[in-house]
């Protein structure tokens, strides 16, 4: 039973393994280039554990940014994580001793793995989510260590390997699409985000997109909810 | 020293953002119907948002950037629709993208 849990968790986190090792290495290399040694790379990987924010923090440290700036920047970069928690509140409700770490480790990639909430049969779903979350952080930290040690000695052309993350999100989106008859939320997320990207540009579109998605879904609730019930009746 | 403070503030703020929904909405015996509803509809909207977020730096005016991304997205999604094998879709899509940007559209 235990073996199934770890094996299946490893299998499902494989896409994240490839992505996190490469991105983590990129992070370790960049940190080393900016004279932040292994201890710094490890500290960020273990304590902050937020990919894009860690990259941004390099610049914050280089410019000795004011702590208020650090606070606001972190809010801006990581605010999307608020939505992950919002949609996992019920799933993680009774996670008990696993709960603090599950919440701490809720990165983009971990979210995309736990949101489907389909642990193998006979396996504790909370422990399963916990193990996947833990595996992911191990990959991320390991990538950082390799990058910090190897520095830029690496020559293998990894350009484009970060597409693994995009691909992971695409596969989750396809499975979500196939699992429901109500495609309104997905279409809204896609169109809303694209429109916000066109309007606000790459560095500022995420927060308006989030506000738009949540308010539109809230306003459309009577319609979406009744449509759901209809679907269940026909099923 | 200041760098240690930056590390602490960045880490604490990140954790705060991740924990806030649970602190705000996870306390009652039963989760409110509105939060249940959001938990139901938000994930597929969020996943689309993440895909767009990943592709945001693709310059749509430059064909050698748009085409590899577009092809790789279609390959990944198409394969997943037909085979429902996550690992296969991701590996094929990623290799496809790497070959396209490294060898084809240079």
Comparing B86 with A146, the larger pLDDT belongs to A146
Residues B59 and B101 in one domain: yes
Residues B49 and B14 in one domain: yes
DSSP B85: -
* Closest CA of chain B from A124, distance in Å: 21
CA A183-A200-A77 angle, 5° bins:
85
Q: Do B94 and A43 touch (CB under 8 A)?
A: no
* Closest CA of chain B from A147, distance in Å: 19
Report yes or no: A21 and A142 within 8 Å, Cβ to Cβ.
yes
Q: Count CB-CB contacts under 10 A for residue A35.
A: 8
Q: Identify the domain boundary among A179, A204, A224.
A: A179
Contacts of A61 in chain B (CB under 8 A): 3, 6
Contacts of A194 in chain B (CB under 8 A): 52
Cα(B9)–Cα(A233) distance, integer angstroms: 50
Report yes or no: A119 and B65 within 8 Å, Cβ to Cβ.
no
pLDDT tens-digit series, residues B59-70:
888 998 999 999
Residues A126 and A226 in one domain: no
Q: Do A18 and B94 touch (CB under 8 A)?
A: yes
Q: Identify the domain boundary among A156, A179, A202.
A: A179
* Closest CA of chain B from A197, distance in Å: 8
DSSP B62: -
Residues B42 and B59 in one domain: no
Number of structural domains (chain B) is 2
Number of structural domains (chain A) is 2
Q: Which pLDDT tens digits describe chain A residue by residue (235 residues)?
A: 568 899 999 999 998 998 888 888 888 888 888 889 999 999 999 999 998 889 889 989 998 999 998 998 898 888 889 999 999 999 999 999 999 999 999 999 999 999 989 899 889 999 999 999 999 999 999 999 998 998 766 656 767 877 888 898 899 899 889 988 899 999 999 999 999 999 998 888 888 998 999 999 999 988 877 655 544 444 3
Residues A22 and A73 in one domain: yes
pLDDT at A154: 63
Q: Alpha helices, DSSP H only, in B55-106?
A: 63-83, 86-99
Report yes or no: A57 and B10 within 8 Å, Cβ to Cβ.
yes
Report yes or no: A164 and A19 within 8 Å, Cβ to Cβ.
yes
Interface A–B counts its CB contacts (< 8 A) at 252
Q: Do B17 and A81 touch (CB under 8 A)?
A: yes
Average pLDDT estimate for B40-52:
90
Full residue range of the structural domain in which residue B40 is found: 1-54
* Closest CA of chain B from A9, distance in Å: 13
Q: Name the residue with tokens 């037909």.
A: B82
Residues A187 and A162 in one domain: no
Residues A120 and A163 in one domain: yes
Contacts of A112 in chain B (CB under 8 A): 47, 50
Long-range pairs of A76-79 with CB within 8 A, sequence gap ≥ 24: A76/A207, A77/A50, A77/A52, A77/A53, A78/A50, A78/A52, A78/A53, A78/B13, A78/B14, A78/B17, A78/B18, A79/A206, A79/A207, A79/A210, A79/B17
Residues B25 and B9 in one domain: yes
Contacts of B56 in chain A (CB under 8 A): 197, 202, 205
SS (H, E, C) B25-36: HCCCCCCCHHHH
Full residue range of the structural domain in which residue A224 is found: 182-235
Q: Do A209 and B49 touch (CB under 8 A)?
A: yes
Q: Identify the domain boundary among A179, A195, A215.
A: A179
pLDDT at A21: 87
Q: Do A75 and B97 touch (CB under 8 A)?
A: no
Residues A121 and A234 in one domain: no
pLDDT at A56: 86
- For residue B64, the SS3 value is helix
Report how far apart, in Å, the C-alpha atoms of A222 and of each of A3, A50, A114, A227 are: 45, 36, 27, 9
Q: Do B38 and A44 touch (CB under 8 A)?
A: no
Q: Do B56 and A197 touch (CB under 8 A)?
A: yes
- Which of B2, B8, B11 has the highest number of chain A CBs within 10 A, making it the mutation to test binding with A? B11
Residues A12 and A125 in one domain: yes
Report yes or no: A62 and B12 within 8 Å, Cβ to Cβ.
no
**CA R_g for chain B:** 20
pLDDT at A219: 94
Smallest CA-to-CA distance from A91 within B42, B31, B14, B34 is with B31
Cα(B106)–Cα(A41) distance, integer angstroms: 33
């Amino acid at each position: 039973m235990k073996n199934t849990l770890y094996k299946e968790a490893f299998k499902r986190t494989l896409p994240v393994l490839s992505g996190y090792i490469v991105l983590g290495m990129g992070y370790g290399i960049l940190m080393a280039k900016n004279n932040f040694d292994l201890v710094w790379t490890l500290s960020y990987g273990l304590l902050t554990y937020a990919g894009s924010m860690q990259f941004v923090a390099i610049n914050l440290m280089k410019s000795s940014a004011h702590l208020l700036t650090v606070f606001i920047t972190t809010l801006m970069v990581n605010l999307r994580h608020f939505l992950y928690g919002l949609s996992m509140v019920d799933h993680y409700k009774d996670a008990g001793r696993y709960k603090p770490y599950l919440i701490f480790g809720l990165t983009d990639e971990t979210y995309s793995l736990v949101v489907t909430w389909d642990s193998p049969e006979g396996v504790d779903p909370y422990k399963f989510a916990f193990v996947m979350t833990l595996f992911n952080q191990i990959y991320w930290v390991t990538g950082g260590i390799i990058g910090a040690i190897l520095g830029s000695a690496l020559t293998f052309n990894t350009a484009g390997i970060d597409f693994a993350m995009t691909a992971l999100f695409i596969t989750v989106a396809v499975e979500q699409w196939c699992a429901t008859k109500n495609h309104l939320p997905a279409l809204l997320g896609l169109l809303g985000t694209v429109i916000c990207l066109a309007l606000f540009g790459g560095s500022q579109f995420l927060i308006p997109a989030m506000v738009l998605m949540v308010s539109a879904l809230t306003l459309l609730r009577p319609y979406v909810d009744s449509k759901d019930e209809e679907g269940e009746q026909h099923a | 020293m200041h760098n240690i403070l930056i590390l602490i503030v960045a880490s604490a703020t990140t954790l705060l953002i991740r924990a806030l929904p649970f602190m705000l909405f996870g306390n009652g015996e039963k989760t409110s119907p509105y939060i249940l509803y959001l938990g139901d509809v938000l994930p597929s909207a969020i996943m689309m948002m993440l895909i767009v977020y990943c592709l945001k730096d693709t310059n749509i005016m430059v064909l050698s950037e748009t085409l590899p991304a577009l092809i790789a997205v279609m390959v990944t999604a198409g394969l997943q629709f037909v085979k429902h094998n996550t690992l296969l879709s991701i590996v094929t899509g990623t290799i496809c993208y790497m070959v396209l940007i490294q060898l084809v559209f240079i």
